[in-house]
Each structure stands twice: as C-alpha cells, then as structure tokens.
Structure 1
Amino acid sequence: MTENNSTEDSGLQESFLSHLFELRDRVVKSALAIIAVFICLVYWAPDIFHLFAQPLLEALPAGGKMIVTDVTGSFFVPMKVTMLVAFLIALPVVMYQLWAFIAPGLYLHERKLILPLVVSSYSLFIIGMAFAYFLVFPTVFKFMASYNAPLGAEMSTDIDNYLSFAMTTFLAFGITFEVPVVVVVLVRMGMVTLAKLKEIRPYVIVGAFVISAVVTPPDVLSQLLLAIPMTLLYELGLLVARLYVPKPSVDDQSN
C-alpha cells in the first residue's frame, strides 16, 4: 500500500515538473518573440514615440510642448513605447504559446472554441486601443487644452507622465472591448444564462459608468467615451451569445 502511494506521489510530482518545464519553455519562446520584434523596431524608436504622441502634439496650443523632466526620460520613454508596440505585434505568438500549453487539457469542443476566442480577443483589444488613440485622445486633449486659454497657462506635458496616462487609457479601453468575449464565454460555459444577462442589463449600464469614472480622467467627456462603448459592446455580446447557447442534453430533454 505504501509503495503504491509513493509511486502515485512520484508520478504526480513528475507530471507537475513536466508541466512546469513546458510552461517555462512557452514563456521563454514568448519572451524571445517580443525581444526579436523589439530589436527590429528599436532603430525607429524616436519615430514610434512621435507617432505615439501625435494626438497630444496636435492638440497643444501655440507655445505648448512636451518636456523631459528626467535625465534618462528622453531615452527610456521611447524604448518603453517601442516595447509596447513589440508586445502588441508579438501578441499572437504569445497567445499561441498559451493555447498550446492548455490545449492538451481541453475537450475537443472546447478546443474548437479557443481559436475564435483568441482571434476575437486580440482583434477587440487592438480595436479598443485604436478607438482610444484616434477618437478619445484627440477629443480629451483638445477639451483639456481649451481650459488653459482662459487661465493664461502654458500647456507643457512631461513625456513620462504622458506615457503613464496613455498606457492606462490603452489598457482600460483594450480590456473594455473584451466585454463581448466575456459574455459569450459565460453563456457558452453555462455559467450564466442569456436570460439572466438580459435581466441584469440595467446594473451593467450603471456598472459601466462607475468603471469609466474610476479608470478615466476626471471629466465627463472621457467617461462617456468609455461607458457608452462598454454598454453597446455588452449588447453586442448578447447578440453573439445567442449562437453559443449550450444545447440541452438528452437527459434534460427527457425530463
């Protein structure tokens, strides 16, 4: 009996270690993909940062400019932006490594769902960031700059602070645009029924405005630009989730 238990324990330990080694290899491959893309882009780091800062530069009034308050800021901030771009470009590789790690433990019907989820998640995240860059940034920056003229204040922004603001906003909108995917997964896995999600719609709308008030700058305009898309994306998720409602089993039908 003791020998059987020790054999089982050693087998479990070997299985755990093999999964741990595989996870390490997947993480290393993902990191190498990001680093490889970064190395290819690093020469154009100043140009990438200029494109990254374009929404703010266009909204600055006459005399306004971006400044550097840190000795190393002019070097490290463009590097950080370039690393962000490299991560986004290499994200499909990272997602594939994640999928390859968890796929052996999934059923066949679950594997079929993974690819659409990965593609839609990546696409929606990029769309959310593009929405922030092309619509939210210009709107919010022009709105903020308009308040400086009556005050007679010169608008100058530190590039490190701009990076922090932009990263937070990108992350907020990228995650927000994943709402349809979350709704579909909840319905497909049977965690929540479609009828229940429709029933809690008013609470979701209130929650969208609360979340937008927390993660966006303290102005009504930017909050609306996040809360309204979040609400519309929830409705989109409800529409798409109709295609993924689990079919009742034979036992359920007989009952």
Structure 2
Amino acid sequence: MSNNRGKKLLDSIKEKGQNLEAEMSFFDHLEVLRWHLIRSCIAIVVFTSLAFGYYDFIFDKVIMGPKSPGFWTYRMMCQIADRFHLSADYCIKEIKFNIINTEMAGQFTLQLNSSLLAGVVLGFPYLLYEIWRFIKPGLTDKERTSASGFVFYATFLFILGILFGYYIIAPLSITFLANYTVSNIIQNQITIDSYLSSVATLTLGTGVVFELPILIFILSKIGIMTPRFMRASRRYSTVIILIIAAVITPTPDILTMLTVSFPLFILYEVSIMISARVEKRREKALMSRD
C-alpha cells in the first residue's frame, strides 16, 4: 500500500516537473519573441526618423509623384499611345484636383503618418529577418534548407508588389477618380489624408498581395494547400482575380483591368508550381523512409 502511494507521489512529482519545464519553455519562447519584436520596432523607428529628416524628398517626389503629369507612368502611357496610335485619353497631361488640409494639425500629422509608413516599408525586410531568426531553431535541417531563401524571396515579392502598386495601380486609380465628375458644378477638393490613404492602401495592399507564393508555400508545407486543388480551382480564381483587379482600378476600360490582373495570374501559376514542388518533395521523403 505504501509502495503504491510512493509511486503515485513520484509520478505526481514527475508530472509537475514536466509541466513546469514546458511552462518555462513557453515563457522562454515568449521572451525570445519579445526581443525579436523589440529589435524590429527599433529598426522601424530608425527608418521612420530618417524618413522624417528627409521628408521634403519623400513628400515632393514620392507621395506627390502620382499627382504630377510628369510622373513616369504617365510619360510611358503617352509614349505607348503615340507608338500604337491609341486614343488621346491614354495620354495623361493634366490631373484636375486640388489637395487641401482641413485640420489644424493636419500637415504635422501627415508628416508623422507618412514617415511611419516609409519606416514600415523600409524596415519590412529586417522584420522578415527577425521572424526567420525566431522560427529557424524550431525547424529540422531539411526544413531549414528548403526555407533558407524565405527572407530574400519574401522581400523581393514585397518590393515588386510595392513598385507595381505605386507605378501602375495608384496612378491609374488616382487619374480615374480625380477626373471622374458627376457634374461640372462640382470641383474636386481632396483632403491630404484621403490622398495619402489612397496611395498607401493601393501600394501597401499590392505589396501584401504579391506575397501569395510565400503563403502558398507555407500552406503547402502544412498540408492545407495542394496543387491539385489549385488547378481545379483555376476558373474560380480567374473570376476572383478579375474582380480584385476591377475593384483596385475602378477604370472603365478593359485594358487597364487586364494590365492589373496579369501579374496576379502569373503569381497564381507560380504558386501552383511552388505547391507542386513542395508536394513532390514530401512524396520523395515518404518513399525514402519506406
């Protein structure tokens, strides 16, 4: 009887020890994650401070770029229209709207918000690096090898999306919405907050959308996404992509919508290839175990 009690006591102590060890491990992970987030925030603060210091360039050349008729996109559109004898509507030579400020601290808030946005964009690669450093110890050697290019590819896709959103989607949307009028008696007086919000949403939103291959890679690794499912859903994805392109660029012509949707189709096909490659590696690993 006493032996059973002693055994139960020892089992209880071992169980509490295991629970305490697991609990300490959990809090240790939280502590490590906290420091990764702190370093990421410090990097974003540094880039935000740099953007705040060089704000004249950021505001005049970057933020207000899509409003200027001399913007790169508008110049390319004029050259394409001249070369292929397209309608004169494709050559943007004037953007009819005024930007106003309606709040006392509006311009100061504008500088803070836009500097923070610039800091997030510039600090995004370092944020990905810190995320990779956090998850790397929990991966096997094969998983580390297969995901070794995570930071590079995620950064490359994000920057590519940012450039596409800034040079294609943002100017096309701004010119259409700025020149769209219900009546000639209504003049477009756009607040600076509305303008900045539109440019930031279109640009950053496209950068996030371009991370689709990375998301598919992770889901395929987990086993949630398969290339068979993605190929079977291609017709539905086509409709969804066209709807997204129509919402992002509310222009009436089909050429603009196809221009925006084309990279999304490419991303979807690349995602299928990535998912197929992950599945092939998984099947090869299972065959080697057998």
SS of the residue aligned with 2:41? helix
Cα displacement string for residues 169-203 of structure 1 (whole angstroms, at most 9, x for unaligned residues): 12321122122333344445543332332221101
Q: Please name the residue that 2:228 is paired with.
A: 195
Q: 1:165 aligns with which of 198, 202, 205?
A: 198
Decide whether aligned partners of structure 1 residues 57 and 240 sit closer, same or farther in structure 2, where only a CA change above 3 A counts: same
Q: Please name the residue that 2:44 is paired with.
A: 34
Give the paired residue count: 254
1:1-255 aligned at under 5 Å gives the runs 1-50=11-60, 51-58=62-69, 61=94, 64-148=97-181, 151-213=184-246, 216=248, 218-220=250-252, 224-247=258-281, 248-249=283-284, 252=287
Contact 1:136 1:225 in 2 (8 A): no
For residues 27 and 138 of structure 1, the distance between their equivalents in structure 2, rounded to whole angstroms, comes to 34
- Residue 31 of structure 1 and its aligned partner are, at CA, apart by 0.7
Contact 1:190 1:246 in 2 (8 A): no
Cα displacement string for residues 124-183 of structure 1 (whole angstroms, at most 9, x for unaligned residues): 111111111111222222223333497254332111111221222123211221223333
Contact 1:61 1:145 in 2 (8 A): no
Cα displacement string for residues 193-231 of structure 1 (whole angstroms, at most 9, x for unaligned residues): 3233222110111222344455x3644567555433212
Contact 2:227 2:273 in 1 (8 A): no
SS of the residue aligned with 1:157? strand
For residues 195 and 63 of structure 1, the distance between their equivalents in structure 2, rounded to whole angstroms, comes to 49
Q: Which amino acid aligns with 2:17?
A: T
Give RMSD over aligned pairs. Answer: 2.9
- Residue 70 of structure 1 and its aligned partner are, at CA, apart by 1.5
Decide whether aligned partners of structure 1 residues 60 and 76 sit closer, same or farther in structure 2, where only a CA change above 3 A counts: farther
Q: Where in structure 2 are there 5+ consecutive unaligned residues?
A: 1-10, 70-91
Contact 2:157 2:211 in 1 (8 A): yes
Q: Which amino acid aligns with 1:68?
A: N
Q: Where in structure 1 are there 5+ consecutive unaligned residues?
A: none
TM-score by length of 2: 0.76
Decide whether aligned partners of structure 1 residues 19 and 183 sit closer, same or farther in structure 2, where only a CA change above 3 A counts: closer
Q: Which amino acid aligns with 1:135?
A: I
For residues 92 and 191 of structure 1, the distance between their equivalents in structure 2, rounded to whole angstroms, comes to 27
SS of the residue aligned with 2:99? strand
Q: Which amino acid aligns with 2:191?
A: D
TM-score by length of 1: 0.85
- Residue 242 of structure 1 and its aligned partner are, at CA, apart by 4.8
